[in-house]
């Protein structure tokens, strides 16, 4: 059993990373999203990164070859952020109140990236409704000298179908 | 009147006024659970319903379970390759027979008492059937229960719970050819893909129909999407575009100013490589279909509504949307992406990215439509049981000034909705459901000839 | 009887017995969804309803959206400063027009098709209105829909969905002056503050009314709060305090033994600094209002119920509570704190701390009241459809021994409740809703003269 | 017919065909909320209902609150040791009187106005009762409300909301002796234990009854549990085992091929130590009960259904299961483990482990039964309002070939279900609820003599 | 990128504090509250500390100047605890069963205090109902030689309104 | 206040253990269960270990002396796993989709074992229903040279009763 000092440290592309650092990154992102700070959110992505949400029947296929909920390359990600910042994104104006719980965070070296999995619950209050989105993150993070960056941000829903009123007009 | 308001019984659902040129729909039609029950009985259990696409069960023994009109069904291809629709309920004591959502199997075995059925409906085994009189007759009477009617057009599988429903093509009428046009886009034909969008909206199903036939909402509601297209070199316009009633409650929006016609009309956002592939494909189309047909197939975007539960979006990619009403105020929606069976991987990836960027609850456009259905469903509570009864009606008068003259309605008018509602009120069969004030035109424009 | 029990139709809702001196309320009145529907139709859509306070929309163009009687409304002050109440539903197709909960705007634009309205109800813009016959008539007919009646008393804004309702002051009757007394507490007048308590209880709205008029529950139910006051040097008493019926279903509890009269009667828990401020303020009141009026305004705590949806708590601070029934078994509650427009910051902080320590779902007292409503709502299931029908009634006989003699009822009697129920049964209009056994007094005490 | 289908009114609920030898149950009986209401009125409010076991309230002043037929009750033993069942609702204004789920108390004090009652129902205190006319009469009239009837058999406490119900033993008939047999298993008698399984299934209560009387499902549904037994040296068989109708809707499954008879028939999985204890106990039983009675008590597993809400599982341990219908589609279930009052700790631990490994939502068998109820409840939606009305029936014909000849039905037939349904249809009193085609036998086998 | 050893340590008034220490403090409080150990709970507060729950329309204002759900100075906090320990606090007798999830814990130096934010979900079972309270902590903690103490304990609800049956009669 | 390096380390039977290690163990188990990898799950148990779920009225009694939901000795645990791996465990075929959040993890030395408490929420999607199971773990873990192992795995539900449709046919 390793001594505690180094316990749980993963080294990727010369960066020694602990779970705590990954958690801090994900917690910061959650606060940024709940505060609707979309420019700051974009800054958490590496150039050319992707944002994906497969459908609820997802069985591991490529989103290039299947239907999905979100299949954003970096250009679409920019368009999505621009939309969300617009007063005319009616589905999110007024903004949803969101609240995020991120737990069961695990990190693994994956070539030059960090593969991160976590459980999430996102609560969303709007129009007198209170919706709950349950799922799992399967991200690829890029360690840089300025900290971690998203290379692939993927949210996989546990639901069998999006429940009534649920939509992915905000960032899951 | 409030009591009446509570269930909408005996109230006019539609009021047409040909003097004032107004068309009003009673909001009870979106709210009332009694009307929902009548729709279930008189439309969903009587009409043809879209069940699914042949390519979802491409191979013999493939099956999918799907709820239609609230009924759990098994949609499968039997061992001989025939497409079937069974009630997903054991003839013995009613247990859900197939509890998997999808798969491949020759047999369906009920887990409760192990009665086993072939995917052609025959009884394969009934344990200890000596406990029954006449085990042969038993096997006959205990076959899987089929949905009474099933017919297919261009791969679209329709069923009806009404054995006496007229033939499918008769029902589809002019809508049939627009399904053919989609099939003709690619020589290889079309297929659905895995990755089905399953979601549910807090709104009446008819709001989803209106929304799809409503070009008037496009630029205000989808302001941000229009902006995205504009920045990518495409100038959206609503000019010179029309909405057609195709009869039997079906309708069609023809859009020439909205783009997204991948592999048929190139746009800068599709990238340079795609440009050449598009040109080549258009050439192939013209050879195969001829100049004019190719034009109709390729150059127009179509939004087709097939009464009551199918929407085909031939715009920003191709998607099939199925409406499954759950209650007056909730509708389950299912959307499949339809693609050429044979396609360049880069085009395919572009297509998938593009279609999803537009449609579905995660797209840049559909969420605003969902917001619309739901905001209407909430908003109409404001006039429930209203003493000033006339305030509890929604206005769909746009373009009646043309309609009364027999001039074809535009995509940004509300004529397609009026056609839908006129069919709806007769289909649901509400006594005095329609009130006509003033002199109604002898007939309305119907259909459009593109052959 | 069980069938009857299922909806309460045709059963007596109230049984008065003047021989036995008992008053019983049928528990179906709290449980039945049919009675809830009748209340909605015959009370909430007929009566004056409290909408909100002028100070919530202090400046021109301020707006708040609020649901009343299940209807989404816009409560706003138009550009000319006039207070308005609009149905929050687009006249076009019914979309919720204003989706923000609060803000300031001259215009309300519907996001669906961009119809735009001024906050005075006028149509500001209808895109492409050439698609309609007579665009002038259109703009006339498509104005925002107003709630038919709106009147204000001392800043309290009331509306009615019934255009023929009598004038507000006629409806308020004796209750009006108690609202004036609150306004008179401070020369600067009163204002609401941000920080609205929005919560919902699993109980019938009438249980919340009974509870507020029920001095009998105070010491057992609020045992811990009474203890807190006692430890802080205030001895709570229920002696010589009375409950008044003010007519039209309104009622009043006058409490002189419960304290919490900040800036009017000092208590040790308020601290030494507050002592001087209180003395000065009392002096100012006496000069302004005269000895006797000042006494009524300052020295009594009042709990005022204005039928059917307003409760004013002039005790432990000042709060406005609005009841919004959602179903027979659920009621949304909204509570605002009312404070002097001009006040010393320390007094203000003390006031806010004090009022919240008592009222609201986080206070030291209200949670026990909520527990009561909910425990009653659950408990009365025990006698639903009971064969021994008489067991399915709640007893509110306290003080009938005095009432029959024409003696004013005490705060710890149940006379205010009886007055409420007598008005309720006639307002809801249930056939044979009231059964009277024995000889009923010619009249009941009503009102109280403090002028 | 669809309208009819919506509530099942006036349709046959059961169709017996004595020519075809078929027995069919209308699936509306599981779905319809109207039928649920009739069951509530005509069965649950008329019949004897199992409330609980004496040993749950072993000592004077012990109490438990429990909902029965939707009514909150207090099940207690008063200070004099008498077992009582009170409506858990304050006679004053209906508040839940006892909000604790279990405990021990001489008094029940309502927290709202502090009315206090003795556990024998007497009024102990009404604060300030001078506010009432005739405080003596008041105390008389305000006693706790009792459930009209309460009787006990072998520690099983039954109540009825119907004062005119016949005596309990008359109702139990032949079922009574099977409860006695359980009591006779151990000289010390039996007791319930803490650790009550409270769960709820998404299925109609009658599906739980059918399932318990259905030996036909055992090997397919419990395939994995049968496998577990087999690996542990016990070969399960369904041969030569029978299902009996005991009259009044009660029924009995006698199983000799399923084992799990701890301390009566040893199995390898029980371990060597248990072997000796079993032998000793069997010896004691034979001395006490005699050879033949001991045989019936010890060597058979019994599943006993006492109409309408009690199931006794004398198999794989002993458990009491109570059914509390919540709606047509939901049933609350409560299960208690019954054990000898005096038992070797190792046997006790073995017993607890064994019973829980089989029954309950965490066991290796019950979850598959729950899956069955729920899969049936979902599956029968497939034929709701079906035009081909005959498809909306479930088949329970197994063994009619014997029944028509007067031959005793086997555990793997469906005769016990038919007996249940025949009783149910008369108890619920649905007009024309039963249709009989062909010539019905003069009588059916009933009961079984083991004395 | 800092070495793991000191990663994420915040130093406040001479106390070096890690996120783990803050989490342990919050987890211990959660167990104390679920076990209804109110004297122990009070011991987690510094003298003069406050307990606040703003209303659901909260927009950052001072509770001295607005309505709120809970606005306890230390005296009221003592009164609240005394009440909760009484058998006569009917709203909580019988006690609610509560269960707490605390996640997304972040800590920042704030003058001589530690500013702590976290996401919480509190489940409450009572009377056959199962309610969920979703929100965010924004506490100020005082580092002492005996460990951390609450200086300001603030729970901010994500709900648009308290849902049916929800009440704050227990500690959120 | 201890230096961060050793902060929160518990030493049991000569094994120095941090909360992070316990969390990693529980997170790994959660992923194993959600992925239906039952052989791997069994490998997390020490020989002779037990799996317990008391009923919702649990008041601390021994499951040998009371009713319960799950009272598995090691033999029954093997039988349970064998069942779950069978296609004939109808209640879980098709498998439930499960999703787990584990939070508020605390670890204490308990003789030669590690006593671990945590809050869990398990979401389960099946048959168009979405159920939530809320409760608390009270485990005993055995530190071994190959890592931690379950000695007693106990899940205690917060619910007053199992809600409609809920069942414990999967591993809670
Ligand atoms: S219900 Fe299907 S085999 Fe019995
Ligand atoms: S619905 Fe409001 S503009 Fe059309
Ligand atoms: S309701 Fe029980 S004492 Fe008043
Ligand atoms: Fe749209
Ligand atoms: Fe009170
Ligand atoms: Fe079974």
pLDDT at residue number C451: 52
- In the block, tokens 């209902």 appear at D49
Q: Report chain B's mean pLDDT, rounded to a whole number.
A: 95
Query: Quick one: what percent of chain F has pLDDT higher than 70?
Result: 97
pLDDT at residue number D450: 61
pLDDT tens digits for C201-230? 999 999 999 999 999 999 999 999 999 999
pLDDT tens digits for B183-196? 999 999 999 999 99
For residue B224, the chain A residue with the least C-alpha distance is: A83
Q: What is the mean pLDDT of residues C332-354?
A: 97
As a whole number of angstroms, the distance between CA D36 and CA D33 comes to 5
pLDDT band, very low/low/confident/very high, at C10 (cuts 50, 70, 90): low
The residue ranges of DSSP E strands in B377-426, in sequence order, are: 393-395
Q: Please check the confidence at residue F100 and state whether its pLDDT lies above 90.
A: yes
CA distances from A135 to A138, A154, F124 (A): 10, 10, 11
DSSP for D70-115 reads TEEEEEEE-TTS-EEEEESS-TTT---S--SSEEE-SEEE-TTT--
CB of D51 closer than 8 Å to CB of D77: no
Give yes or no for C29 touching D (CB within 8 A): no
ipTM over 0.90: yes
Q: Please check the confidence at residue D1 and state whether its pLDDT lies above 50.
A: no
pLDDT tens digits for E105-136? 999 999 999 999 999 999 999 999 999 999 99
Q: What is the mean pLDDT of residues A146-166?
A: 96
Q: Report chain D's mean pLDDT, rounded to a whole number.
A: 95
pLDDT at residue number D136: 86
pLDDT tens digits for B376-419? 999 999 999 999 999 999 999 999 999 999 999 999 999 999 99
CB of C357 closer than 8 Å to CB of C337: no
Give yes or no for C107 touching A (CB within 8 A): no
A156 Cβ neighbours under 8 A, 6+ residues apart:
A53, A54, A58, A135, A136, A137, A138
Q: Please check the confidence at residue B8 and state whether its pLDDT lies above 70.
A: no
Tokens read off for E14: 């001479």
Q: Is C98 close to ligand 2, i.e. is its CB under 6 Å away?
A: no
pLDDT at residue number E1: 30
Q: Report chain E's mean pLDDT, rounded to a whole number.
A: 95
Contact list, C101 vs chain A (CB under 8 Å): 94
CA distance C275 to chain D (A): 35
pLDDT at residue number C135: 81
CB of D17 closer than 8 Å to CB of D404: no
The answer to whether the peptide bond before residue B14 is cis (omega within 30 degrees of 0) is no
Q: Please check the confidence at residue B450 and state whether its pLDDT lies above 70.
A: no
CB of B78 closer than 8 Å to CB of B61: yes
Note the residue count of chain C: 451
**Atom number in ligand 1 closest to CA B95:** 1
Q: What is the mean pLDDT of residues C33-45?
A: 96
Angle at B326 between CA B323 and CA B332, to 5 degrees: 40
**Nearest bound ligand to the CA of residue F91:** 6
Residue D257, SS3?
A: coil
CA distances from B216 to B208, B352, C114, F91 (A): 14, 27, 10, 50
**Weakest mean pLDDT among C390-399, D225-234, D419-428, F83-92:** D225-234
pLDDT tens digits for B220-274? 999 999 999 999 888 889 999 999 999 999 999 999 988 899 999 999 999 999 9
For residue D198, the chain E residue with the least C-alpha distance is: E128
H or E stretch at F17: strand F15-17
Query: Quick one: what percent of chain C has pLDDT higher than 90?
Result: 92
pLDDT at residue number D198: 98
pLDDT at residue number D6: 45
pLDDT at residue number B6: 45
Note the residue count of chain B: 451
Contact list, C132 vs chain B (CB under 8 Å): 21, 397-398, 400-401
CB of A141 closer than 8 Å to CB of A25: yes
Residue C303, SS3?
A: strand
Q: Please check the confidence at residue C363 and state whether its pLDDT lies above 80.
A: yes
CB of B40 closer than 8 Å to CB of B67: no
Q: Please check the confidence at residue D364 and state whether its pLDDT lies above 60.
A: yes
Q: Report chain C's mean pLDDT, rounded to a whole number.
A: 95
Q: Please check the confidence at residue D5 and state whether its pLDDT lies above 70.
A: no
Q: Please check the confidence at residue C141 and state whether its pLDDT lies above 50.
A: yes
pLDDT at residue number C448: 84
H or E stretch at D348: helix D345-358
Q: What is the mean pLDDT of residues D32-39?
A: 96
pLDDT at residue number C136: 86
CB of B331 closer than 8 Å to CB of B205: yes
pLDDT tens digits for B99-143? 999 999 999 999 999 999 999 999 999 999 999 998 888 999 999
pLDDT tens digits for D12-29? 999 999 999 999 999 999
Tokens read off for E30: 């959660």
C-alpha of residue C382 to centroid of ligand 3, in Å: 15
Q: What is the mean pLDDT of residues C434-449?
A: 91
Which other chains touch chain A, taking contact as 3+ CB pairs less than 8 Å apart? B, C, E, F
B138 Cβ neighbours under 8 A, 6+ residues apart:
B123, B126, B129, B132
Q: Please check the confidence at residue B323 and state whether its pLDDT lies above 70.
A: yes
CB of F39 closer than 8 Å to CB of F77: no
Q: Please check the confidence at residue D235 and state whether its pLDDT lies above 90.
A: no
pLDDT band, very low/low/confident/very high, at D207 (cuts 50, 70, 90): very high
F91 Cβ neighbours under 8 A, 6+ residues apart:
D367, D368, D370, D371, F167, F169
Q: Please check the confidence at residue A52 and state whether its pLDDT lies above 70.
A: yes
pLDDT at residue number B11: 80
Query: C-alpha B217: how far from its chain's center?
Result: 19
Contact list, D412 vs chain B (CB under 8 Å): 128, 131
Contact C101 A94 (CB under 8 A): yes
For β-strands D14-17 and D434-437, DSSP reports them as parallel
Q: What is the pTM of this model?
A: 0.96
Handedness of CA F125, F127, F130, F133 (dihedral sign): negative
Tokens read off for B355: 């279609």
Question: Among partner residues C45, C96, C132, which is closest to B397 by beta-carbon distance?
Answer: C132
Neighbours of B432 (CB within 10 A): 10
pLDDT at residue number C234: 86
pLDDT at residue number E7: 83
Q: Report chain F's mean pLDDT, rounded to a whole number.
A: 95
Q: Whose CA is nearest to atom 1 of ligand 1?
A: B93
Q: What is the mean pLDDT of residues E137-165?
A: 96
pLDDT band, very low/low/confident/very high, at C447 (cuts 50, 70, 90): confident
Give yes or no for E4 touching A (CB within 8 A): yes
Note the residue count of chain E: 172
Q: Whose CA is nearest to atom 4 of ligand 3?
A: D113
pLDDT at residue number D431: 85
pLDDT at residue number B150: 98
pLDDT at residue number D451: 52
**Atom number in ligand 2 closest to CA C110:** 2
Residue A156, SS3?
A: strand
pLDDT tens digits for E82-112? 999 999 999 999 999 999 999 999 999 999 9
pLDDT at residue number C9: 53
pLDDT tens digits for B341-380? 999 999 999 999 999 999 999 999 999 999 999 999 999 9
pLDDT at residue number A101: 98
Tokens read off for B252: 């069609």
Which other chains touch chain E, taking contact as 3+ CB pairs less than 8 Å apart? A, C, D, F
pLDDT at residue number B5: 44
As a whole number of angstroms, the distance between CA A53 and CA B367 comes to 15
Tokens read off for C259: 């304290």
pLDDT at residue number A7: 83
pLDDT tens digits for F107-164? 999 999 999 999 999 999 999 999 999 999 999 999 999 999 999 999 999 999 999 9
DSSP for F53-94 reads E--TT--S--GGGS--SEEE-HHHHHHHHHHHHSTT-GGGSS
pLDDT band, very low/low/confident/very high, at C6 (cuts 50, 70, 90): very low
B163 Cβ neighbours under 8 A, 6+ residues apart:
B148, B149, D387
Q: What are phi and psi of D92, to 5 degrees?
A: -70, -75
pLDDT at residue number B43: 98
Chains F and A touch (3+ CB pairs under 8 A): yes
Query: C-alpha C68: how far from its chain's center?
Result: 12
């Amino acid at each position: 059993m390793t001594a505690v000092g180094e316990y749980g440290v993963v080294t990727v592309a010369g960066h020694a990373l602990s779970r705590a650092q990954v958690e801090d990154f994900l917690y910061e992102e959650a606060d940024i999203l709940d505060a609707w700070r979309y420019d700051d959110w974009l800054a958490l992505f590496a150039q050319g990164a992707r944002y994906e949400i497969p459908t609820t029947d997802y069985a591991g296929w490529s989103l290039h070859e299947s239907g999905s909920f979100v299949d954003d390359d970096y250009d679409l990600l920019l368009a999505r952020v621009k939309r969300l910042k617009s007063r005319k994104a009616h589905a999110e104006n007024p903004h949803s109140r969101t609240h995020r719980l991120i737990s069961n965070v695990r990190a693994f070296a994956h070539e030059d990236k960090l593969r991160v999995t976590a459980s999430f619950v996102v609560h969303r209050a709007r129009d007198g409704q209170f919706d709950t989105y349950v799922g799992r993150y399967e991200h690829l993070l890029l360690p840089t000298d300025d900290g971690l960056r998203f290379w692939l941000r993927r949210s996989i829903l546990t639901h069998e179908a999006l429940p009534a009123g649920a939509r992915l007009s905000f960032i899951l | 009147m409030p009591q009446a308001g509570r269930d909408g019984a005996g109230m006019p659902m539609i009021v047409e006024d040909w003097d004032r040129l107004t068309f009003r729909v009673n909001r009870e039609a979106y709210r009332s659970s009694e009307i929902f029950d009548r729709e279930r009985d008189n439309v969903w259990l009587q009409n043809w319903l879209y069940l699914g696409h042949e390519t979802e069960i491409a191979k013999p023994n493939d099956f999918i379970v799907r709820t239609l009109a609230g009924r759990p069904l098994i949609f499968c291809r039997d061992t001989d390759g025939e497409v079937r629709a069974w009630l997903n309920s054991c003839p013995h004591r009613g247990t859900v027979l197939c509890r998997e959502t999808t798969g491949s199997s020759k047999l369906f075995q009920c887990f409760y008492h192990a009665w086993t059925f072939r995917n052609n409906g025959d009884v394969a085994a009934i344990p200890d059937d000596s406990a029954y009189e006449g085990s042969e007759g038993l096997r006959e009477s205990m076959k899987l229960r089929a949905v009474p009617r099933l017919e297919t057009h261009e791969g679209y599988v329709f069923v009806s719970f009404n054995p006496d429903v007229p033939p499918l093509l008769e029902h589809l009428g002019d809508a049939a050819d627009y399904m053919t046009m989609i099939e003709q886009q690619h020589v290889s034909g079309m297929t659905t893909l895995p990755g089905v969008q399953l979601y549910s909206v807090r709104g009446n199903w008819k709001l989803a129909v209106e929304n799809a036939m409503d070009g008037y909402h496009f630029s205000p509601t989808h302001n941000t999407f229009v902006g995205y297209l504009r920045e990518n070199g495409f100038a959206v316009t609503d000019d010179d575009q029309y909405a057609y009633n195709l009869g039997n409650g079906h309708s069609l929006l023809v859009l020439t100013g909205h783009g997204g016609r991948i592999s048929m009309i190139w746009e800068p956002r599709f990238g340079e490589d795609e440009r050449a592939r598009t040109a080549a494909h258009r050439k192939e189309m013209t050879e195969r279909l001829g100049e004019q047909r190719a034009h109709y197939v390729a150059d127009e975007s179509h939004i087709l509504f097939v009464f009551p539960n199918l929407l085909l979006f031939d715009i920003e990619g191709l998607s099939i949307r199925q409406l499954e009403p759950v209650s007056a105020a909730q509708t389950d929606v299912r959307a499949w992406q339809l693609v050429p069976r044979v396609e360049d991987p880069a085009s395919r990836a572009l297509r998938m990215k593009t279609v999803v960027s537009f449609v579905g609850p995660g797209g840049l456009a559909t969420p605003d439509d969902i917001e619309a259905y739901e905001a209407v469903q909430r908003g109409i509570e404001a006039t429930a049981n209203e003493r000033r009864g006339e305030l509890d009606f929604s206005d769909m008068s746009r373009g009646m000034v043309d309609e009364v003259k027999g001039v074809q309605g535009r995509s940004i008018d509300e004529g397609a909705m009026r056609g839908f509602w006129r069919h709806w009120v007769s289909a649901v069969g509400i006594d005095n459901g329609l009130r006509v004030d003033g002199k109604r035109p002898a007939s309305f424009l119907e259909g459009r000839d593109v052959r």
